[in-house]
Amino acid sequence: MEHPQTPDGRYMVVRGRLWRVANPHLSPQERETLVRALMAARRQVKATMAAGDAAALAAARRSVNAAKIALGERGPVWWQDGAKDFNRYLVKNTPYRDWYEQLIGPPA
């Protein structure tokens, strides 16, 4: 499993850190549209970095952020149960610690 997802489906784990996944309640069409917008914004970030245009880079980064918020990866959480958001936390510092250790084994 390249990037395991937490049992509740809210996060994936990358190098021991939780990253919020996209809202699973988005329609496939809406998700595809938003992912295309995100990829276009990321390409724009790369292009503006190469060009050295600080204003365009800032705008491109805002576009990336807007797409990630629309996907549910940033901004307000997409779940409704009031559970705390652990986005970007180390797994070991969250309630997912035991689950993750069972998955990969205890730390050395």
Q: 54-99: per-residue pLDDT in tens?
A: 999 999 999 999 999 999 999 999 999 999 999 999 999 999 999 9
Phi-psi region of 44 (alpha: psi -120 to 50; beta: other; left: phi over 0): alpha
Two structure tokens written together for 81: 């149960």
* Angle in degrees, CA 39, 45, 48, rounded to 5: 140
Domain that holds residue 52: 26-72
Same domain, 33 and 67: yes
Q: pTM of the prediction?
A: 0.86
Same domain, 30 and 68: yes
Same domain, 34 and 16: no
Complete DSSP assignment for 76-90: S-S-SS-PPP-TT-B
Same domain, 8 and 40: no
Residue type, position 101, single letter: E
Same domain, 106 and 88: yes
